[in-house]
Amino acid sequence: MRLHNFALGLITGLIALATPAHAFVAEEERLFDVDNPSATLNIISTADLDIFSPLVDAFQERNPTVRVRYVTASSSELMKALFEENAEFDIAISSAMDLQTKLVNDGFAERHVSAETGSLPSWAKWRDRLFAFTQEPAVLVYSREAFEGLPQPTNRDELIALLRENPDRFNGRVGTYDIRESGAGYLFATQDSRQSESLWRMAEVMGRLNARLYCCSSQMIGDVADGQLALAYNVLGSYAAQHLENHPDLDILQFKDFTTVMLRTVLIPTTARDADLAGQFIDFLVSAENRQLIEDLTGLPSIDPAVLQREAAFRPIRLGPGLLVYLDQLKRRTFIRAWLNAMVQP
Amino acid sequence: MTTVHARGSLRRRLLLQLLLVAAILSVALYFTVRALAQQAAETTQDNILIASATAISEAARAERGQILVDVPYSALSMLGSIAEERVFYRVTADDLTVTGYDDLPMPPAASEVGAAVFATSIYKSDEVRVAALPRRLTVGDETVILTVLVAQTRLGLAAVSLQISIAAAAAGVGFFLLSGALSWFATNNAMRPLNRLAQSVERRGPQDLSPVETSAPTELVPLLQSLNTFMARLSASLARTEDFIAEAAHHVRTPLATVRTQSEIAMRSVRKPENKQILREVIRAADESSRSAGQLLDHAMVALRSDNLEKEKLNMKDLAQDVIRSISPTADLKDIRITCSGSDTTSSVEGDPILLQNALRNLLDNAVKYSPEDSRIRVEISEDTSTVQVDVLDEGRGLGNGDRQRLTQRFGRGDNVKDIIGSGLGLTIVDEVVRAHGGTLALTDNPEGRGTCASITLPSA
């Protein structure tokens, strides 16, 4: 399945590369066609096709004459498409909350107000233009086998201590996002740095263990499942959970000190050709009655304030202008340099 | 009687003026509240912008000849804490953009180092408030002016302004309603002494010309004094008029009676028929003058009394019989029989007995005067639910063909009575008396053939 996706992604990616019409790099593209289409909904998304296609099917069940074109791209390519190239999409879905916020702040998103968006808690939307429909914690994915005989860490300090004390066991076997490439990785790292200084010690320790850097969650999880990695730090728990069934060796750990919770957000770009239809799609994603359905179809935890109250360690990333800070050119350069200094040691 | 035309109302005027003042104050309140609240909202935004700019400015440093700005998370997140506004920032060193939105417009007024400048401009199609905070920064060997600009849209402020405006308008309307109600009470309160005075004057009987003795506010004292002076003068004047009428009656009638008596005595002593004729003319003239003077005085009295009717309950039939009794000697001279018919017990009216007698006497006088010898005059009294009617029917020459309206006018006489002496005041007196009692006088032809029917209709008691 993973391999198949990877191959498909690679092929479509290559096709995209070869197509001059797209200056941004799309990974996959699929047309969910219908007989006698009355309208077409163009979606650009960072969510993998296999995660999202059941959702598109469900939407088409409700709107049988709507044709859906679903294009996946990395969060930075999505940003490039909308911010620089004014690519025409009706819906943009991304896990990079900071970039989505910038799109809204800089006036690239349409306003949308409905009863459904009104049902969202205030922290799950911003300026009636950006709407969250999932809340996904960043977790540690690890292999039980690799931790055998060791006490299970419950917070970052314990993990750091464990890594320090067992360099042989973990050398070359820890992975995390390459924050230069992955928008979600950069977002998680910056939020970590806001929460605690442990990020830098973590980076230091991981760098000493020759950590491997990844662009995407799926590859990282795959490598843990394969046994190539002992652990992957700051992985989207929702992706990892889907692999747990097939890989009994895999496990997920939510840190007790704090767990960053990312909100997957959706917006209507100003280039939308059918903003009304896009509004319907957003209503479909955020409406209170569909939340359970979305969780069932995609495996992505949907917006639920009760969970955030129950889990004391959960720190949802706040939508708002604060997210623009880490997009500052100087700030980003400084942050990445500091991170690389710690992570990539000579 | 003169009528007073009400022109405007003192109370309404007072109320309107108070309401006008209240309205002006309400509008002033609205604008003041709105301006203050908007200023407060703008000041709040400015304060946050300057706090944000200060935080960014403090995070700027120079390292190895390069300017580094580590924008603190709180610098921008604090801008999101009040309203969901778009946020822009820019850091410049001299004129070069170090980081942020490089097309964010600088406030036009260059400011001194350390002092923030604010400007409102349009950026990315929205109105933004820009705060600019310059400071000196030493980079290597040289000093540059590092300016931090932080901008925020004012969409929320516009919404807040609208809310404030609505609240201010509500406050204004509330204030107006409250002061309107208070004005109403105040006006009523202020008008109370005036109303009390008006009522105390109104309650007085028509004959009561004594001074008004009531306490009144200072402003009403002159009016009250004038009123009392006027009443005193009126009272004196009325007394004088009554005296004058009595005097005049006496002074005119006494010499005329003497003239008449002396003429009759003289008539007995003269022999020549032409002299007898002359004396007869003199007697006739004296009679006529006496009668005219009497009627003139009657008319004056009627006019005087009509303004101040002294009403009492009267039985019309008794009244009519009194008059018939007093007039029958004259009627007997012409062999005229006067009959009176109608029920005895009821037929009562409210009225001035002297005036009503006078009116009936005039009617009967006329009837006797214009009736031929050996004829009959009928006085019929009838009533229905609300009126009492007295008909005087004679068998005389009738009303003629002239304008009947003219008969009741002062000194107006019918065109068929030139040969009979008359002042033309009789029916005028009747008409005025009847009208003063709220009744009517009707002159018609006698339905039984020859003669006149004079009817007076009065409201029954």
pLDDT digits (tens, 9 = 90+) for B296-315: 777 777 777 776 777 888 88
ipTM of the complex: 0.84
Distances (CA, A) of A155 to A68, A139, B104: 43, 11, 43
- Asked whether residue B45 carries a pLDDT value surpassing 60, the answer given is yes
CA B187 to chain centre: 16
* Nearest residue, CB atoms, A330 vs list B69, B74, B80: B69
Which of A134-138, B245-249, B285-289 is least confident? B245-249
**Quick one: pLDDT band at residue B8, thresholds 50, 70, 90?**
confident
Q: Which residues pair with A211 in a beta bridge?
A: none
As a whole number of angstroms, the distance between CA A285 and CA B364 comes to 110
Q: Which residue of A has its CA nearest to B69?
A: A330
Q: Which residue has the higher pLDDT, B289 or A105?
A: A105
Q: Please report, rounded to a whole number, the percentage of residues in chain A having pLDDT higher than 70.
A: 93
Both structure tokens of A246: 């097939």
**Which pLDDT score, from 0 to 100, does residue A15 have?**
47
Distances (CA, A) of B366 to B252, B360, B361, B406, B419: 22, 10, 8, 16, 14
As a whole number of angstroms, the distance between CA B194 and CA B216 comes to 8
Among B45, B73, B91, which would you mutate to test the A interface (most chain A Cβ atoms within 10 Å of its Cβ)?
B73
Collect all residues of chain B within an 8 Å Cβ-Cβ radius of residue A324. Answer: 76, 87
* Cβ contact B87–A318 (<8 Å): no
* Section B86-91 average pLDDT: 94
To the nearest whole Å, the CA of A105 is away from the closest chain B CA by 5
* Cβ contact B71–A329 (<8 Å): no
Token pair 């008006």: residue: B198
**Mean residue pLDDT across chain A:** 89
pLDDT digits (tens, 9 = 90+) for A250-267: 999 999 999 999 999 999
Specify whether the CB–CB gap between B396 and B383 falls below 8 A. no
As a whole number of angstroms, the distance between CA B318 and CA B244 comes to 31
As a whole number of angstroms, the distance between CA B362 and CA B430 comes to 7
pLDDT digits (tens, 9 = 90+) for B118-155: 999 999 988 899 999 999 999 888 899 999 999 999 88
Collect all residues of chain B within an 8 Å Cβ-Cβ radius of residue A322. Answer: 73-74, 76-77, 80
Going by their DSSP bridges, the two strands A314-316 and A259-267 should be labelled as: parallel
**Quick one: pLDDT band at residue B422, thresholds 50, 70, 90?**
low
Please, which residues 20-79 of chain B have a Cβ atom closer than 8 Å to chain A? 68-77, 79
Q: What is the pTM of this model?
A: 0.66
Which of A176-180, A236-240, A336-340, B185-189 is least confident? A236-240
* Nearest residue, CB atoms, B87 vs list A105, A128, A326: A105
* Cβ contact B76–A321 (<8 Å): yes
Q: Which amino acid is at B90?
A: R
To the nearest whole Å, the CA of B55 is away from the closest chain A CA by 12
**Which pLDDT score, from 0 to 100, does residue B192 have?**
87
**Quick one: pLDDT band at residue A13, thresholds 50, 70, 90?**
very low
Q: Which residue of B has its CA nearest to A318?
A: B77
Most confident of A93-97, A179-183, B384-388: A93-97
Collect all residues of chain A within an 8 Å Cβ-Cβ radius of residue B124. Answer: 106-107
Domains in chain B: boundaries: 14-162, 208-308, 310-461
* Cβ contact A331–B70 (<8 Å): yes
Specify whether the CB–CB gap between B390 and B364 falls below 8 A. no
Residues 6+ apart with CB under 8 A from B136: B113, B143, B144, B145, B146
Q: Which residue of A has its CA nearest to B150?
A: A321
Nearest Cα neighbor of B363 from B383, B339, B337, B393 is B393
Which fold, B14-162?
Beta-Lactamase (3.30.450)
Q: Please report, rounded to a whole number, the percentage of residues in chain B having pLDDT higher than 90.
A: 21
* Section B425-443 average pLDDT: 84
* Cβ contact A329–B74 (<8 Å): no
**Quick one: pLDDT band at residue A200, thresholds 50, 70, 90?**
very high
**Which pLDDT score, from 0 to 100, does residue B343 have?**
66
pLDDT digits (tens, 9 = 90+) for A80-107: 999 999 999 999 999 999 999 999 999 9
Q: Which amino acid is at B230?
A: F
For domain B310-461, say whether CATH 3.30.565.10 is its number. Answer: yes
Distances (CA, A) of A56 to A39, A78, A269, A290, B278: 14, 19, 19, 13, 140
Among A101, A104, A105, which would you mutate to test the B interface (most chain B Cβ atoms within 10 Å of its Cβ)?
A105
CA torsion A254→A256→A257→A260, rounded to 10°? Answer: 30
What domains lie within chain A, and their CATH numbers? Answer: 2-134+262-317 (3.40.190.10), 136-260+327-343 (3.40.190.10)
